[in-house]
Amino acid sequence: AAGCSIICKCPEETPASPIGLVRCFHDAGVPAGVLNLVYGVPAEISEYLIPHPTIRKVSFTGSIPVGKKLAALAGEHMKRVTMELGGHAPVLVFDDVEAEDVAKTMSFMKYRNAGQVCISPTRFFVHEKVYDRFVGKFADLAKSLKVGDGLDPTSKMGPLANPRRVNAIESFVLDAQEKGAKAATGGKRIGNQGNFFEPTVLTDVPESARIMNEEPFGPVAVMLRFKDTDEVLARANKLQFGLASYAFTKSAKTAAKVADTLDHGMVTINHLGLALPETPFGGVKESGYGHEGGVEGLQVYMVAKFVSHLG
């Protein structure tokens, strides 16, 4: 441990879960005053805490626009920051894999927490030779998911965080459909109560669609064909997001090229082991900088001091 006391600014729309987490730490023996919670208007809290001389380090997880504002505020006061911001994770599915098996793996990852995860896969680049098999299986799995109350053990996907997210996802889908996209499954909000949206799979999505260029942060998977490795790597790197990326191939040569070329802070090949406590977690480009986890995540909370003593 780095030995730093922490002030945690809790999300205003989910205030209870941080309390439960902090209670776990207190029950484990963390002394009072070491891990602290604050609630309130986000801008007011940030504008008070970040410039305060007691604060030496700022870590933020959230959207790119808010991250830029907080990084600028921290820069005015020479505070070190870790920025874990938005993503638009590409998935590369090559033609030498079992497409249906990959669809099972990635559908679970896509609809986890209703897609409200910064590393959620969103842009699925599938080789044309296995495209139909992959999309067919993925859409069937999405259609079979039971959407409902997160406290219901039979539910496989819960609600979105708030009505704004439902409106945003609906807007993304309608925009894509107006520009020629088709819904292989889903595409609509569910009922008039709660913030529920169908697990959605879109095909034939043009590059001009908003969902191709903005982080959806919801239960929508975009399916895209590719033929050539160089072409798909260029398309995967096109955006200013650079958090997570995924690839599936049996070729060691292809895997090495993918690992070298993808401009993302995290690349996983043939598995989902991306967020591990012993490994660095973080992005590049507009997805932020700095790391959580691993030795790298610890070092950002420490200061190197050189001492020379001639006795």
Are 97 and 73 in contact by the 8 Å Cβ rule? The answer is no
Are 116 and 150 in contact by the 8 Å Cβ rule? The answer is no
Task: Tell me which residue of 72, 109, 107 sits closest to 87, measured CA to CA.
Answer: 109
Q: What contacts 162, CB < 8 A, 6 or more positions away?
A: 13, 195
- Is 8 an active-site residue? no
Rounded Cα–Cα distance for residues 194 and 137 (Å): 28
Are 247 and 91 in contact by the 8 Å Cβ rule? The answer is yes
Catalytic pick from 10, 76, 84, 278? 84
Are 243 and 264 in contact by the 8 Å Cβ rule? The answer is yes
- Is 4 an active-site residue? no
Helices 99-111 & 131-144, crossing angle to 10 degrees? 40
- B/e letters for 143-166, b = 16+ CB within 10 Å, e = fewer, are eebebbeeeeeeeebbbbbeeebb
Q: What contacts 293, CB < 8 A, 6 or more positions away?
A: 275, 276, 277, 278, 279, 280, 281
Amino acid 158 reads G
Catalytic pick from 10, 118, 198, 292? 118
Which of the residues are catalytic? 84, 118
